[in-house]
């Protein structure tokens, strides 16, 4: 399978929908698996518009329990059942997520056609919460008004790519191919063919960090250092710095400094206050400090592999 590490922004606004923008939600696709990150109001509508199948979602990550990040979740989960989902679903989030969902489902007498597994975490440091063959997901604390977490998605590349022509040249067996892909040399009589002559230069693994909602804080940097693509909220422009500090949010300048100090290769902005009609207003302040930047909007797509 060709590598896939692709982000689609479903919602880019903060507390309320405004100017055609829905509250925060994203889909990250990695090698055929779909990860939903937060689930604000309108997420299902965006999935339909962007041709993302609800039942294709394998894992859901909730950063915190403010409504603009979670109010779309009960509806999505029940829609999956109405669409006859059978595959179990794993949800990761902060303490209280189970109680929130169970209260909604109990009062509405919701029925589920699939197994729903909710994992709650509380940690003061970076913590691996999911590890698959090709990706590792960690949470780490960020700094908002309530308990909130960022998420780091790290690609795992376990095997080298073998040169096609050497398979025929050395009449390699299946076991020899597997061994070479895992880094071994090849023996032919008393001759040792070095692994470097048999394989292509391995691609570098990539990573994506999601930070919303949060004030810019140097304590986050150790969890996101050298990340390829960083999403860091930009709720306000710099003239609203005092309000950003009071509400546990970041300005455009704050996000840019986080990207710079983290040595990120790309910054994606988002979580805009409804006071701003055009998110393009954020570009100038960000680019004074950090480039390149993608001004995140509903429907924006980023191929993270482009930033290896």
Question: Residue 307: CB partners within 8 Å, gap ≥ 6?
Answer: 206, 228, 229, 265, 266
Helix 73-82 / helix 97-108 crossing angle, nearest 10 deg:
50
Q: What pTM does this model have?
A: 0.90
Residues 246, 141, 132, CA angle at the centre, nearest 5°? Answer: 145
User: Rg (Cα) of the chain, in Å, rounded?
Assistant: 22
Segment 278-295, tens digit of pLDDT? 999 999 999 999 999 999
Residue range 158-199, pLDDT digits in tens: 667 888 898 889 898 999 898 888 889 999 888 989 998 888
Identified catalytic residue from 68, 134, 213, 298 = 68
pLDDT at 158: 66
In angstroms, the Cα distances linking 71 to 113, 206, 215 are: 21, 31, 22
Give me the residue spans of the domains in the chain.
5-157+203-307, 164-198
3-state secondary structure of 56: helix
Q: Which helix (H) or strand (E) holds 137?
A: strand 135-141
Helix (H) or strand (E) holding 180: helix 174-181
Ramachandran area for residue 65 (φ above 0: left; ψ -120 to 50: alpha; else beta): alpha
First CA to last CA distance, the chain: 18
65-111 pLDDT tens trace: 999 999 999 999 999 999 999 999 999 999 999 999 999 999 999 99
For residue 68, indicate whether it is catalytic.
Answer: yes
Architecture of the CATH domain 5-157+203-307: 4-Layer Sandwich (3.60)
């Amino acid at each position: 399978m060709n590598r896939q590490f692709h982000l689609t922004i479903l919602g880019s606004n903060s507390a309320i929908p405004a100017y055609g923008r829905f509250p925060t939600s994203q889909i990250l696709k990695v090698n055929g698996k779909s990860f939903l990150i937060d689930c604000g109001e309108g997420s299902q509508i965006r999935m339909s518009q962007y041709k993302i199948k609800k039942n294709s979602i394998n894992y859901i990550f909730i950063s915190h329990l403010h409504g603009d990040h979670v109010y779309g979740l009960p509806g999505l989960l029940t829609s999956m059942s109405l669409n006859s989902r059978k595959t179990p679903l794993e949800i990761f989030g902060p303490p209280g997520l189970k109680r929130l969902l169970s209260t909604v489902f109990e009062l509405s007498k919701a029925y589920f056609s699939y197994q729903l597994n909710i994992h709650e975490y509380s940690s003061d440091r970076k913590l691996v919460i999911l590890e698959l063959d090709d990706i590792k997901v960690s949470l780490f604390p960020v700094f908002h008004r309530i308990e909130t977490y960022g998420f780091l998605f790290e690609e795992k590349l376990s095997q080298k790519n073998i040169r096609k022509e050497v398979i025929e040249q050395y009449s390699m067996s299946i076991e020899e191919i597997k061994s070479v892909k895992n880094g071994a040399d090849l023996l032919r009589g008393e001759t040792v063919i070095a692994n470097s002559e048999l394989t292509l230069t391995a691609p570098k693994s990539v990573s994506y960090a999601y930070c919303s909602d949060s004030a810019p804080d140097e304590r986050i940097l150790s969890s996101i250092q050298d990340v390829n693509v960083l999403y860091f909220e930009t709720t306000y422009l710099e003239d609203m710095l005092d309000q950003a500090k009071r509400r546990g949010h970041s300005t455009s300048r704050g996000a840019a400094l986080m990207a710079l100090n983290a040595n990120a290769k790309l910054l994606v902005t988002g979580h805009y206050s409804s006071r701003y009609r055009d998110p393009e207003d954020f570009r100038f302040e960000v680019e004074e400090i950090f480039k390149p930047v993608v001004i995140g909007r509903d429907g924006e797509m980023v191929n993270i592999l482009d930033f290896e």
